[in-house]
């Protein structure tokens, strides 16, 4: 039996499923909204990199996920996101940040998020 366990360890089977768990209770660096950015809630996932977002200024925008976030950050329904509206078309924008649950609560407590 010991021989089978060591063989499976060589193939990497023992290391599957062991990931480092990152606590969401600790807020390290929070990306706060700048003057040309608005907070919003993701309403509908449209596929590829497009998401419908209901923004805090009352406009529902068709947003795309920025290239550097595309494969690193997964956005789900009802996630709080930071949107940078396009200058030339107000109904569209770019998602520049996704807030985790504890970060969204912190934003509500500080008065940034009123939705």
Q: Which residues of 11-44 are buried (b: 16+ CB within 10 A; e: fewer)?
A: eeeeeeeeeeeeeeeeeeeeeebeeebbbbbbee
Among 82, 33, 34, CA closest to 61:
82
> How confident is the model at residue 17, as a pLDDT?
60
Compute the chain's Rg from CA coordinates: 19
Among 25, 23, 40, CA closest to 106:
25
> How confident is the model at residue 69, as a pLDDT?
80
Domains of the chain as residue ranges with CATH: 31-110 (2.40.50.140)
Convert the pLDDT of each residue in 51-88 to its tens digit.
999 999 999 999 999 887 878 888 999 999 999 999 99
Q: What is the pTM of this model?
A: 0.71
């Amino acid at each position: 039996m010991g021989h089978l366990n060591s063989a499976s360890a060589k193939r990497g089977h023992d290391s599957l499923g062991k990931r480092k768990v990152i606590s969401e209770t600790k807020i390290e660096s929070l990306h706060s909204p700048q003057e040309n950015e608005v907070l919003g809630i993701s309403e509908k996932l449209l596929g590829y990199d497009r998401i419908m977002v209901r923004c805090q200024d009352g406009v529902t925008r068709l947003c795309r996920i920025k290239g550097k976030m595309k494969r690193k950050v997964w956005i789900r329904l009802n996630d709080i996101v930071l949107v940078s509206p396009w200058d030339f078309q107000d109904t569209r924008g770019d998602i520049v940040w996704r807030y985790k649950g504890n970060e969204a609560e912190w934003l509500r407590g500080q008065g940034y998020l009123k939705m």
